[in-house]
Amino acid sequence: MEKKFDVIIVGGGLSGLATAHFLGKRNPALKIVIVEKEDRPGGAIRTFRCDGFQAEWGPHGFLNNTAESLEILNDLGLDREMQTAPLGDFRRFICFNGKLEPLPQNPKMLLATPLLTLPGKLRLLADLWKKPRPEDQSIGAWAAYRFGPGVLPMVDVAVTGTFAGDLDRLSIDAVMPGVRQLEKEQGSVLRGVIKKKKNGVAGSKGLPAMVNFPAGMERLTDRLAGEEKNLLLSTTVNRLERDGADWLVSTGHDLLRAPALVMALPVNASLRLLEKLDKPPVVEAPGARIANVVMGFGKEAKVPRGFGYLAPEREGRFTLGAMFSSHMFPDRCPAGHILLEALVGGRRHPERLELSDREIVSRVYEDTSRLMVLPEPPVFTEVLRSSGAIPQLEMDHPALLEWRRAIEKKLSGLHICGFGWDGIGMNDVIKSAARTSEAILAEKPAESGQAPVKPVYF
């Protein structure tokens, strides 16, 4: 049966739900339908609860430094419910030569840190006269050229903590376009940042805070989904067609028609549906899968106060890192207990996800208990294997973005946002959803706009 709408949104994860929210807020008369293949909304965002322990399959939080995300929290009244863990109070650690060392969070800490030798610290300043290289490079090659090889363990944990990625494969142009622009305009990243600070445009003062909710991350997507009148669950979009100025979307049961179509899907899911309309430069973009190993311990456990730690590849550890979740968000475990959530796999070690849950837990315990006092055995364990991969913005990504720009221009009413297009974090996809909603209301493709210079927190 054919049904007519103003906007069809494919994907009921955060991107699709946020796009619908912004559209409905700006024009309540719009008839919007969201089509979601699973029997629940939220996509990668999913909270786990068992025996008094609460953990996350997907994101563990987002930073409160993005206007569009704060707008959603305010609109839903979730700003009164959210819990925050300020980064200034919850320091991050790096596993360095087999020990946990605090990551420097300001220039004073950078001067004092044992993570860099004195020549390594002086080498940072070479950025001031290193001529920008015009071509795209891996993040690792770019950072070593500008700031010296001493920074690579810190860069490694930054990309592990955000992308579960590989610093030798991620593209600097795709991941940090704002920083690259600054480097090219000012001839140096440091000079550019100092100039921005002087002009008062260097972003927010102080460190942001990580946001989650007492009921877990899925509280956000559940609330967004609750606003939608037309959310079709357990419905898979399997074909897209043009019919004059309209889009026709086939789901197996129904044919949906609308002048505007939003693809709010992870990059590869979008490519699979769109490739029949226009061949993309890449058949499949790379992804990183991770498992979250949830471990509960009794009060004898001694875990440093902080957010958690990350281990660079050169340390040769099994675990990518672990979050000290119950320090940041108490009530995630029964009283008198400690909750750790450890990450395994990532872009460099997909083979580790082939191991049984038992083997993974045992290897993670063996690894983490060499860094902290963790009584054996844990009182609670669970391995949460996320169903989707984290898209990797590697060297082909700029070409994919070019292709997106061209296809949106060619096929009127088509809007592509979602996991991995304009970044991978919740704030990135919410920003992209807001831009998409503006573009739909203006009946033109979204503007990519000025790339922001984003500080890196991980």
Exactly one of 10, 23, 154, 189 binds ligand FAD (CB under 6 A); that residue is 10
- In whole angstroms, how far apart are CA 445 and each of 204, 248, 261, 437? 30, 19, 11, 10
Burial of 233 (0-12, 13-18, 19+ CB in 10 A): middle
Task: State yes or no: residue 45 binds ligand FAD (CB under 6 A).
Answer: yes
Interface residue with ligand FAD among 20, 23, 55, 58 (CB under 6 A) is: 58
Contact string 113-142 vs ligand FAD (x = CB under 6 A)? ------------------------------
Q: Minimum CB separation from ligand FAD for residue 136, in Å?
A: 23
**Quick check: 425 binds ligand FAD (CB under 6 A)?**
yes
Q: In the complex with ligand FAD, which residue's Cβ is closer, 38 or 81?
A: 38
* Cα(324)–Cα(310) distance, integer angstroms: 11
What are the DSSP calls for 88-142, one per residue?
Answer: TTS-EEEEETTEEEEPP-SHHHHHH-TTS-HHHHHHHGGGGTPPPP-S--BHHHH
73 binds ligand FAD (CB under 6 A): no
Nearest residue to 53 (alpha-carbon basis) of 357, 385, 294: 294
Is the CB of 104 or the CB of 418 nearer to ligand FAD? 418
CA 15, CA 449: separation in Å to the nearest integer? 19
- What is the largest distance, in Å, between two alpha-carbon atoms of the chain? 71
**CA neighbours closer than 13 Å in the CB half-sphere of residue 177:** 14
Residues 387-406, one symbol each (x = binds ligand FAD by CB under 6 A, - = not), give -x-x----------------
- Stretch touching ligand FAD by CB under 6 A, among 6-14, 81-89, 275-283, 346-354: 6-14
Residues 98, 368: contact at Cβ < 8 Å? no
Is 84 a residue that touches ligand FAD (CB under 6 A)?
Answer: no
> Look-up: residue for tokens 């990183």?
288
Total count of residues recorded for the chain: 458
CB of residue 340 to ligand FAD, shortest distance in Å: 15
Q: Which stretch binds ligand FAD (CB under 6 A): 32-40, 100-108, 182-190, 351-359?
A: 32-40
Neighbours of 395 (CB within 10 A): 17
Residue holding tokens 């831009």? 435
Tell me if 386 contacts ligand FAD by CB under 6 A: yes
Stretch that binds ligand FAD, among 36-44, 175-183, 297-305, 442-450 (CB under 6 A): 36-44
Q: Binding residues for ligand FAD, how many (CB under 6 A)?
A: 35
- Shortest Å, Cβ 454 to ligand FAD: 12
Judged by beta carbon, residue 182 or residue 249, the one nearer ligand FAD is 249
> 174-203: which residues touch ligand FAD (CB under 6 A)?
none
CB of 15 to ligand FAD, least distance (A): 3
Q: Give me the 256-295 binding string for ligand FAD, x by CB under 6 A, dash otherwise.
A: --------xxx--x--------------------x-----
Q: What are the CA-CA distances from residue 160 to residues 48, 157, 290, 349, 389 (Å)?
A: 23, 5, 11, 12, 14
Q: How far is the CB of 83 from ligand FAD (least distance, A)?
A: 14
Element (H or E) spanning 340, and its range? strand 338-345
Beta-carbon contacts of 34 under 8 Å, excluding residues fewer than 6 positions away, are 9, 11, 12, 16, 17, 20, 41, 228, 230, 231, 232
Q: State yes or no: residue 211 binds ligand FAD (CB under 6 A).
A: no
Closest CA to 319 of 295, 286, 296: 295
- Residue of the chain from 36, 127, 183, 408 that contacts ligand FAD (CB under 6 A): 36
Q: Which of 24, 30, 38, 91 binds ligand FAD (CB under 6 A)?
A: 38
| The one among 32, 285, 419, 440 contacting ligand FAD by CB under 6 A | 419
How far apart CA 117 and CA 114 sit, in angstroms, is 7
Adjacency order of strands within the sheet including 414-417: 231-232, 32-35, 7-10, 260-264, 414-417
12 vs 445, beta carbon nearer ligand FAD: 12
Using CB under 6 A, list all residues that contact ligand FAD. 10-16, 35-38, 43-45, 58-62, 236-237, 264-266, 269, 290, 386, 388, 390, 418-419, 424-426, 429
